[in-house]
């Protein structure tokens, strides 16, 4: 999470955040972990929190899962597993196509299993569901939504394309019906709140704030809804 005297950027994993970070680095500093939540920032700095303009970006969970797969398996650590194995491994603790020895260490094993699996809405709300953001943009309209931030703070409106992976543009080509069901169940709250759908993609840019949220934050990659 990057902040300066005026703005606070919530870096949600795999939502175009690295491109924004590259632009913000010269004018901001990290005061919290890169992928921390607004709630933790509010608890740490309650007096300064509300004086900052708080924003972040979200992404269709189905597309985000494909991006995670290519980043961790095909580009970053290059594990030779299918997308199907990757998804099942992340959401079923009894399923494991890997050997722990495939990973550099056991911490890396559990880190990758949890990375980007937590619901995106959790970056923007308190545990009882109160919204803390000023603006939420979308990966699907990244340049357009970034321009809102850029104009407000007189920043460059052209974002670099960081961490680009080689994959099919249409995320739907990677899914079976079983995988659609797995990701739908795991990310139902993001699909409902941010108006995403497997077949249609982004249904609406509106945020559905009527969805009840009961969030419990345990640690960075393992908060859940109860």
Domain ranges of the chain: 2-64+115-225
Give the model confidence (pLDDT) of 18-77 as tens digits. Answer: 888 888 877 777 666 677 889 888 988 888 888 999 999 999 999 999 998 998 887 766
| Antiparallel, parallel or unpaired: β 215-216 and 29-30 | unpaired
Residue 2 β-bridge partners = 9, 30
What are the angstrom distances between the C-alpha of 80 and each of 74, 97, 110?
A: 8, 10, 18
What DSSP state is assigned to residue 70?
I
Tens of pLDDT, residue by residue over 192-206, are 999 999 999 999 999
Position 162 scores a pLDDT of: 61
Q: Who wins on pLDDT, 8 or 72?
A: 8
Within 8 A by CB and 6+ apart from 185, the residues are none
Task: Tell how far CA 17 is from the center of its chain.
Answer: 8
pTM, to two decimals: 0.87
Taking a C-beta distance cutoff of 8 angstroms, is the pair 200, 206 a contact? no
Q: Is the pLDDT of residue 108 over 90?
A: no
What's the pLDDT score for residue 99? 67
Per-residue confidence at 222, pLDDT binned at 50, 70, 90? very low
């Amino acid at each position: 999470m990057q902040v300066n005297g005026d703005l606070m950027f919530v870096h949600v994993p795999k939502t175009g955040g690295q491109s924004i970070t590259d632009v913000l680095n010269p004018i901001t500093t990290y005061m919290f972990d890169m992928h921390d939540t607004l709630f933790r920032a509010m608890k740490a700095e309650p007096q300064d929190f509300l004086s900052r303009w708080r924003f972040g970006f979200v992404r269709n969970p189905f597309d985000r899962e494909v991006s995670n797969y290519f980043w961790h398996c095909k580009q970053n650590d290059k594990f030779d597993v299918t997308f199907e194995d990757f998804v099942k491994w992340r959401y079923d603790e009894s399923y494991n196509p890997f050997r722990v020895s495939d990973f550099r260490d056991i911490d890396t094993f559990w880190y990758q299993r949890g990375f980007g699996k937590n619901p995106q809405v959790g970056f923007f709300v308190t545990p009882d569901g109160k919204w803390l953001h000023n603006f939420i943009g979308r990966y699907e309209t990244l340049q357009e939504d970034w321009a809102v931030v850029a104009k407000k703070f007189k920043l460059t409106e052209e974002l670099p394309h960081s961490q680009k992976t080689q994959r099919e543009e249409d995320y739907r080509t990677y899914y079976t019906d079983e995988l659609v069901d797995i990701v739908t169940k795991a990310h139902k709250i993001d699909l409902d709140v941010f108006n995403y759908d497997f077949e249609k993609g982004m249904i609406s840019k509106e945020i559905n704030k009527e969805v009840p949220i009961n969030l419990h934050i345990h640690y960075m990659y393992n908060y859940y809804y109860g």
